[in-house]
Amino acid sequence: MRRSLPLLMILASCLLAMTIGGLGCNSDDGGTTPPPADQCSLNVLAPAAGDDFTSGDPVSIRWDEQGDAATVTIELIQAGNSVGVIAAATENDGFFPWNADVMSGVGGDFVVRITADGETNCTDDSGVFSLVNTAACGIVLTFPQVPDTTLVAGLDLPITWRSHDTTGSIHIDLMNGHLLESLVGVIAQDTSDDGLFDWTMDSFNFSAHRDNVDDSVYWLRIYDENVPSCADSSSDFTLIDTDLCLIDTYITPFGDVLDAGQQVDIGINFHDPDPSDMVKIRLYAGNVAVPGGYITQPGQDLPATTQIYTWTVQDYGFATGGSFFNVRVIKADDPYCWGKTDNFAVRN
């Protein structure tokens, strides 16, 4: 009987362990047994490591939770320190919508920290993400900024600037005019905000040259593509482009009013055309192509060396043209290369 006592004690211990801990004799769970259902734990799922945001961006903060905590506090952390409370005592439901804000921090790397209210050591941090304070975005062009500068197409020009709190992507445009500003062409798109862009100057064959309009009101505009209000502009400058496509166009005999059915000659002077260059001729009302106003029919383009084309005047039924008609000679394979006559009215 003495030998059976240890066996009875072992069996009693097994029964006690099964009753209290749910484990059988000789069981080894390797530490994988889940904690009791009421033990608190949090796991931040989003934002994720490597995410990039700017001020005001919508951010979905998400987390997994376990335990009895009814609410959580969400903080923005930079360099290990709290720079602001995103939400205090918000429902512990795994989701909180946030409009990104650096709060008292500065643009850079951050994490979101979520802490269960009323619990001890129940907290978790998100992955490290980038947040730029675009509300403080600023760009200052440093060159060219000298008034009355004359620039020459084909030469290289370093465009330089200072900036802070941008999203890192810069856009540079060539503009014309200030009161009635026009986009001439895109100099740089999605270029790095590193303070320097080397531009081979180009007039983009802008119509101001073809119309013999004042060529001294060009200027540069630089801005953050994602924050258009974060911008700066250069002073005016003159842009000379000796390689520009030039087509001088005129009508003889010319008058402010041409009669329908009248025959006139359209004079064409295409500067330095290639032997293969072709042109087409259309009637315009101001800057709008007159519907059906083909002076030369589609597919019947003329050699660019043509000097005279005879046209029987008509308005092609465009009754609203008024005195704003003009004839344009257009390079067939480059619609940006054209020349036009003076304006006239058509009398029926």
CATH number of 85's domain? 2.60.40.10
Q: Is the pLDDT of residue 11 over 50?
A: no
28 is a domain residue = no
Please write the tens of the pLDDT for every residue from 16-36: 444 444 444 444 444 445 555
How much is the average pLDDT of 203-215? 62
User: Are 315 and 339 part of one and the same domain?
Assistant: yes
User: Are 235 and 143 part of one and the same domain?
Assistant: yes
Residue 229 to residue 166: CA distance in whole angstroms = 11
- The whole-model pTM stands at 0.53
pLDDT at res. 36 = 58
Please write the tens of the pLDDT for every residue from 249-288: 999 999 899 999 999 999 999 988 889 999 999 999 987 8
Confidence at 48, pLDDT banded by 50, 70, 90: very high
Q: Please name the residue ranges forming H helices in the chain.
A: 4-21, 207-210
Strands 129-132 and 108-116, by their bridges, are: antiparallel
The residues, any chain, with a CB within 8 Å of residue 87's CB and separated by 6 or more, are 72, 73, 74, 96, 98
103 is a domain residue = yes
Residue 177 to residue 184: CA distance in whole angstroms = 10
114 is a domain residue = yes
Which of 175, 205, 240 is at the close of a domain? 240
Q: What is the extent of the structural domain holding 164?
A: 137-240
| 277 or 204: which leads in pLDDT | 277
**End-to-end Cα, the chain, rounded Å:** 133
User: Are 337 and 288 part of one and the same domain?
Assistant: yes
- What is the residue type of 218? Y
- In this structure, of 49-58, 199-208, 247-256, the range with the lowest mean pLDDT score is 199-208
Question: Could you give the number of structural domains in the chain?
Answer: 3
Which of 134, 169, 192 is at the close of a domain? 134
Which of 240, 262, 281 is at the close of a domain? 240
| 268 or 212: which leads in pLDDT | 268
